């Protein structure tokens, strides 16, 4: 076939384009992988939940972790250490991936370092052990190093020798090459019709038209070569990245080595998508789980042959205490009682209160093993009891996480009721403002109970089951009483506010004496909506969303809410409050006549519950040693419940109380 005029054949190497000349500043990175790091174990579900909650989005990256001195100064971190920000976080099943966009004072330094590390990895050369390490606030399970939840991501820092597998994966934000590599420039010179001899002569070696056509052809050829080289470089980089991802995924996997080898053989040397690798790992996990199902926990004195011995006993214990277990654990035989559990874990047939490792075939079992496992199961039973009852206070409170054991400060700024008018060409005037501050103390609540050897010997399972249920109910009552006391303290006038007045007072225009009916309810709503900004006569106009009543007034409250016509009014007189508020029964209130109103806290904040380190539920702990502690001195396993709670009022304007005479 006759060659088309003005065209030429070029070699095209197909792959993903990774340009060479535009220096990238955005990188795909691994923030952290599941597994153990710095003595703590981060399970996959905790990492996945943190991504779903958006904790990684917008996290600032710094150069190195904060020094101890930096954490004590106001603001914590120094702005001169900023290197960039994270975005587009996603969970791959093994690790958290995100985009790091380098910016800030040290952004270019980190971008250059990342480019050098990726280039060295591409060439197969050693690279500095530089990666990413997250600075986190976490919740840890009791008596364990297992992380239950990531509360907050303070930062994701570029550090030496990261502990949780943080690393740079690839560059993202580059365009097509703007200039050829040095090797490409040499090729261009060798192909140019204007060689050095022609240049010295000051002219072309062929007619102008031919020279122009030949130059255009060579330009097209050179462009094709550049694109082909860029595509080949991209393919090599992707291959290196896939190899790194495969290695990281297999290292973080809990699969046995034979199954890991199968996955490695399938993906080694190939370019693949992360989700394909994750899907195959999940398939291997399911295969491994089916193989383990055939292995069972046998009775007291029997041997436990699976690699997850204590895990299977824990599931059997949860079943013993009435907790639900996964379907794949239903084949585990039931324990007959607390006595069998004790003998299985300790071998203490004489009930001396210490373990006999030679009598059991579980590795590293001590008396503390029995205590820790029991505490873990009892804690679940307690939380089940705590969460079983409806938390009547939830709609009217605001929750705050407290980082330190110190009083909670609730600051309310005011003075911004309206904006000033600015005439054409005139200067803006400064807005004067001030703030009010309320405080509340953190209170530690708790008790302990003892499970005696006599209870274990008698196999008194029902008594042991009742302990966490009663503790959960007591914890619920503790929070309920703390919130209800806001309305009943000091003879029903509430706590003292920073302005020297009681929470409910005539000075605050939120205290009444009338019994609950339509007229008193309407008057109370008018009082709430008439509250003003401090230092201003402007009314807030926010109605109360909730009517709080003792059990004796529930029916009266429901009639006010659900009557289309005004209760007690003339026929066909409209009830303007029909279906416009909610009735909340407050169980601790004993006065049958007093009632209260509260606004939606999202609109007008008032009652605040503070939780130390974000722990909003009670915790159970145990203390047991083989030769010391209560098990040794008192023949009992002591179970302690602890609860940190802080309850205060940030603003009186969203609350109203009627102390009926």
pLDDT in tens, 23-82: 678 888 888 888 888 778 888 899 999 999 899 999 999 998 876 555 544 446 788 889
Q: What would the 3-class secondary structure string for 198-245 be? A: HHHHCCCCCCHHHHHHHHHHHHHHHHHHHHHHHHHHHHHHHHHHHHHH
CA distance 147 to 46: 7
Residue in the block written with tokens 């145990």? 622
Is residue 32 classed as helix, strand or coil in its secondary structure?
strand
| 172-203 pLDDT tens trace | 754 433 333 333 344 334 333 334 443 444 44
CA distance 249 to 263: 10
C-alpha torsion sign, points 30, 35, 40, 41:
positive
CA distance 636 to 343: 15
**Beta carbons within 10 angstroms of residue 403's beta carbon:** 11
CA distance 61 to 109: 13
CA distance 477 to 366: 36
Could you tell me if 582 and 392 are in contact, meaning their C-beta atoms sit under 8 angstroms apart?
no
Closest CA to 134 of 80, 73, 55: 55
Could you tell me if 121 and 127 are in contact, meaning their C-beta atoms sit under 8 angstroms apart?
yes
Q: Give yes or no for residue 589 having a pLDDT over 90.
A: yes
Closest CA to 382 of 446, 458, 459: 446
Determine which helix (DSSP H) or strand (DSSP E) holds 487, and give its type and residue range.
helix 461-492
Could you tell me if 158 and 82 are in contact, meaning their C-beta atoms sit under 8 angstroms apart?
no
- Flag the least confident range among 19-28, 204-213, 261-270: 204-213
| 403-433 pLDDT tens trace | 888 788 776 665 556 677 888 888 887 766 5
Determine which helix (DSSP H) or strand (DSSP E) holds 146, and give its type and residue range.
none
* Mean pLDDT for the stretch of residues 294-303: 40
* Mean pLDDT for the stretch of residues 372-394: 82
**For the chain, percent of residues with pLDDT exceeding 70:** 73
Q: Give the end-to-end CA distance of the chain in Å, rounded to a whole number.
A: 109
Could you tell me if 369 and 344 are in contact, meaning their C-beta atoms sit under 8 angstroms apart?
no
Q: Name the β-bridge partners of 32.
A: 96
* Torsion, Cα of 551, 552, 557, 559 (10° steps): 120
Q: Name the β-bridge partners of 620.
A: 641
How would residue 635 be classed by pLDDT, with cut points 50, 70 and 90? Answer: low
Residue in the block written with tokens 């490792």? 357
Could you tell me if 517 and 525 are in contact, meaning their C-beta atoms sit under 8 angstroms apart?
no
Could you tell me if 649 and 607 are in contact, meaning their C-beta atoms sit under 8 angstroms apart?
yes
What is the average pLDDT score of the chain? 76
CA angle 441, 448, 300 (to 5 degrees): 140
Q: Give yes or no for residue 532 having a pLDDT over 90.
A: no
CA distance 183 to 186: 5
CA angle 323, 327, 329 (to 5 degrees): 75
Give the list of residues 6+ apart from residue 492 with CB closer than 8 angstroms, or none: 504, 591, 594, 657, 659
- Flag the least confident range among 10-19, 352-361, 634-643: 10-19
CA distance 488 to 16: 69
How would residue 20 be classed by pLDDT, with cut points 50, 70 and 90? Answer: very low
* Mean pLDDT for the stretch of residues 235-253: 77
CA distance 497 to 332: 58
Q: What is the DSSP letter of 104?
A: S
Specify which of 36-45, 208-217, 308-317 reaches the highest per-range mean pLDDT: 36-45
CA distance 341 to 349: 12
CA distance 81 to 104: 8
Q: Give yes or no for residue 207 having a pLDDT over 70.
A: no
């Amino acid at each position: 076939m006759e060659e088309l005029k003005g065209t030429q054949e070029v070699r095209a190497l197909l792959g993903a384009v990774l340009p060479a000349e535009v220096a990238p500043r955005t990188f795909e990175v691994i923030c952290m992988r599941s597994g153990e790091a710095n003595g703590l174990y981060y399970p996959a579900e905790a990492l996945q939940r943190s991504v779903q909650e958006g904790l990684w989005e917008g996290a600032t990256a710094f150069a190195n972790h904060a020094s101890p001195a930096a954490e004590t100064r106001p603001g914590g971190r120094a702005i001169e250490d900023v290197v960039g920000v994270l975005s587009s976080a996603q969970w791959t099943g093994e690790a958290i991936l995100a985009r790091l966009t380098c910016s800030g004072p040290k952004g270019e330094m980190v971008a250059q370092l990342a480019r050098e590390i990726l280039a060295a990895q591409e060439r197969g050369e050693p690279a500095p052990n530089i990666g990413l390490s997250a600075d986190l606030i976490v919740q840890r399970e009791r008596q364990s190093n297992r992380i239950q939840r990531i509360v907050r991501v303070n930062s994701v820092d570029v550090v030496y020798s990261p502990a949780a597998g943080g690393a740079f994966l690839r560059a993202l934000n580059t365009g097509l090459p703007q200039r050829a590599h040095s090797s490409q420039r040499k090729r261009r010179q060798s192909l140019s019709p204007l060689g050095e001899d022609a240049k010295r002569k000051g002219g072309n070696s062929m007619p102008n038209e031919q020279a122009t056509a030949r130059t255009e052809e060579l330009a097209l050829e050179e462009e094709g070569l550049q694109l082909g080289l860029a595509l080949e470089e991209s393919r090599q980089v992707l291959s290196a990245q896939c190899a790194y991802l495969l290695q990281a995924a297999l290292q973080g996997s809990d699969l046995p080595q034979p199954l890991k080898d199968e996955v490695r053989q399938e993906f080694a040397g190939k370019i693949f998508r992360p989700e394909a690798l994750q899907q195959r790992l999940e398939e291997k996990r399911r295969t491994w789980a089916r193989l383990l199902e055939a292995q069972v926990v046998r009775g007291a004195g029997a041997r436990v042959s699976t690699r997850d011995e204590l895990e299977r006993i824990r599931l059997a214990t949860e079943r013993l205490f009435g907790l639900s277990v996964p379907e794949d654990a239903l084949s585990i035989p039931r324990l007959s009682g607390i006595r069998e559990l004790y003998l299985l874990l300790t071998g203490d047939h004489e009930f001396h209160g210490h373990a006999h490792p030679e009598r059991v075939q579980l590795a590293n079992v001590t008396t503390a093993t029995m205590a820790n496992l029991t505490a873990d199961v009892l804690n679940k039973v307690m939380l089940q009891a705590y969460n079983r009852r409806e938390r009547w206070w939830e709609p009217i409170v605001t929750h705050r996480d407290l980082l330190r054991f110190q009083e909670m400060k609730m600051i309310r700024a005011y003075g911004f009721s309206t904006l000033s008018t600015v005439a054409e060409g005139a200067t803006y005037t400064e807005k004067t403002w001030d703030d009010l501050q309320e405080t509340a103390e953190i209170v530690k609540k708790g008790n302990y109970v003892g499970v005696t050897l006599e209870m274990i010997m008698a196999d008194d399972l029902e008594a042991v089951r009742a302990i966490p249920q009663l503790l959960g109910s007591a914890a619920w009552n503790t929070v309920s009483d703390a919130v209800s006391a806001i309305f009943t303290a000091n003879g029903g006038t509430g706590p003292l506010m920073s302005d020297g007045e009681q929470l409910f007072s005539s000075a605050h225009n939120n205290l009444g004496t009338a019994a609950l009916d339509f007229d008193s309810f309407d008057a109370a709503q008018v009082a709430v909506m008439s509250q003003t900004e401090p230092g201003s006569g402007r009314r807030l106009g926010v109605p109360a969303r909730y009517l709080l009543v003792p059990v004796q007034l529930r029916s009266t409250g429901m009639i006010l809410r659900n009557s289309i016509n005004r209760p007690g009014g003339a026929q066909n007189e409209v009830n303007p409050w029909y279906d416009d508020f909610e009735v909340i029964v407050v169980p601790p209130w004993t006065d049958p006549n007093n009632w209260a109103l509260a606004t939606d806290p999202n609109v007008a904040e008032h009652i605040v519950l503070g939780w130390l380190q974000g722990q909003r539920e009670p915790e159970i702990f145990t203390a047991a040693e083989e030769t010391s502690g209560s098990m040794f001195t008192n023949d009992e396993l002591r179970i302690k419940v602890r609860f940190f709670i802080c309850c205060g009022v940030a603003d009186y304007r969203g609350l109203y109380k009627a102390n009926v005479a």
